[in-house]
């Protein structure tokens, strides 16, 4: 594999793409280019110091995409549902990016997708930020790439210190609580350190013959229940309790809560990665020597009591 082959990484200034950039640089087989809306941002400038070119591309302006992919051997594509400019257009944006990559001559496309909750549940659940990504899959498959691969990111462990961090209980002490509309003991959440998605994606680009024929690879450190997470954290010195709340109460907690509540209902019935989870998770683990960091190890390093 020639070192001058370039992988164009969409979202390379973000969580998933950032991990992809780091893993590609660490392994050194490919040059790296990042697609960003702002080539002057601090993140873009920091990438330049690592020999990563930042080129302008904006999913809301499809005409910017093909020039940004031009000359690249591979493309990692991720869309950001939570960006207000993307939310209702995620499927169209993902499809446009795949088409642009093909038109630009990209040989291997890696699309960051998620399960099709609508199809899996026979229409019971939509979970727009999952199904909207899955609906891009056929466009990636049919675009005519020499190689294409579907990767699925788990529920980020980083959520547990960010938007889903346990909240202090007003008892004057250190106790915290998770208020969630799910059964505490349902082991249905595939979780992992999002940064490690990059290890998987780098290996995929290195092995197009084995992994670039439409394979599905799901990255996960394991399958956990909320109680599993709490038990581990409490072993590590935390004092966290679980409060099961009603769907109606949860929906009022923050903007976008209803979307996450529906996602959790889907998890409870089908698990995060859905019915074909075992093969997809095993395939990803086989590809990454040493696998992915367990929740216990991640928590020790990232969640001090």
57-96 burial code (b ≥16 CB/10 A, e <16) = bbbeebebbbebbbebbbbbbbbbbeeeebbebbbbbbbb
Q: Are 225 and 244 a contacting pair, CB within 8 Å?
A: no
> Which parts of 38-77 interact with ligand NAP (CB under 6 A)?
38, 57-60
The DSSP secondary structure of 33-49, one letter per residue, reads EEEES-TTSHHHHHHHT
Nearest residue to ligand NAP, by Cβ distance, number only? 14
**Given the rule CB under 6 A, which of 150-158, 218-226, 233-241, 283-291 is the region that contacts ligand NAP?**
150-158
Q: Out of 78, 110, 160, 223, point to the residue binding ligand NAP (CB under 6 A).
A: 78
Q: Answer yes or no whether residue 188 interacts with ligand NAP by CB under 6 A.
A: no
Give the Cα separation of 55 and 69 in Å (integer).
9
- Return the residues of window 121-140 that contact ligand NAP according to CB under 6 A: 129
- Measure the CA–CA gap between 237 and 197, rounded to whole angstroms: 28
Give the number of residues in contact with ligand NAP, rule: CB under 6 A. Answer: 28
Interface with ligand NAP by CB under 6 A: which range of 14-22, 171-179, 180-188, 247-255? 14-22
Pick from 125, 156, 224, 267 the residue near ligand NAP by CB under 6 A: 156
Q: Which of residues 233-292 bind ligand NAP (CB under 6 A)?
A: none
The answer to the question of residue 157 lying near ligand NAP (CB under 6 A) is no
| Contacts (Cβ under 8 Å, ≥6 apart) of 195 | 15, 18, 19, 22
CB of 128 to ligand NAP, least distance (A): 10
How far apart CA 159 and CA 55 sit, in angstroms, is 29
Q: Which range binds ligand NAP by CB under 6 A, 32-40, 45-53, 217-225, 254-262?
A: 32-40
Is residue 31 a contact point for ligand NAP (CB under 6 A)?
A: no
Closest CB 202 distance from ligand NAP, rounded Å: 16
Rounded to a whole number of angstroms, the minimum distance from the CB of residue 232 to ligand NAP is 18
In a 10 Å sphere around its CB, with 0-12 CB exposed, 13-18 middle and 19+ buried, how is residue 100 labelled? buried
Q: Which among 227, 161, 166 has a CA at the least distance from the CA of 194? A: 161
Q: Where along the sequence are the contacts to ligand NAP (CB under 6 A)? A: 10-11, 13-17, 36-38, 57-60, 78-83, 85-86, 114, 129, 153, 155-156, 159
């Amino acid at each position: 594999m020639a070192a001058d082959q370039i992988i164009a990484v969409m979202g390379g200034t973000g969580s998933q793409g950032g991990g992809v950039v780091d893993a590609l640089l660490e392994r050194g087989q490919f040059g790296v280019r990042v697609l960003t809306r702002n080539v002057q941002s601090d993140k873009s400038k920091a990438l330049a110091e690592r020999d990563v070119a930042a080129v302008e591309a904006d999913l809301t302006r499809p005409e910017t995409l093909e020039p940004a992919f031009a000359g690249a051997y591979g493309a990692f594509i991720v869309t950001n549902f939570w960006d207000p400019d993307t939310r209702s257009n995620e499927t169209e944006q993902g499809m446009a990016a795949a088409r642009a990559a093909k038109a630009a001559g990209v040989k291997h496309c890696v699309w960051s997708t998620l399960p099709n909750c609508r199809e899996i549940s026979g229409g019971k659940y939509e979970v727009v930020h999952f199904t909207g990504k899955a609906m891009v899959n056929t466009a990636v498959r049919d675009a005519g790439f020499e190689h294409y691969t579907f990767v699925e990111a788990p529920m980020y462990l980083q959520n547990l210190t960010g938007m889903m961090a346990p909240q202090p209980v007003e008892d004057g002490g250190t106790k915290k609580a998770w208020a969630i509309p799910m059964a505490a003991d349902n082991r249905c959440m595939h979780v992992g350190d999002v940064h490690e998605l990059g290890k998987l994606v780098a290996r995929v680009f290195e092995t197009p013959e084995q992994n670039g024929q439409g394979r599905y690879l799901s990255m996960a450190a394991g399958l956990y229940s909320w109680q599993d997470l709490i038990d581990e954290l409490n072993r590590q010195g935390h004092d966290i309790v679980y409060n099961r709340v009603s769907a109606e109460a949860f929906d009022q907690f923050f903007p976008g809560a209803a979307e996450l509540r529906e996602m959790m209902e889907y998890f409870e019935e089908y698990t995060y990665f859905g019915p074909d989870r075992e093969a997809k998770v095993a395939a990803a683990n086989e590809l990454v020597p040493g696998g992915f960091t367990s929740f216990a190890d991640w928590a020790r390093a990232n969640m001090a009591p």
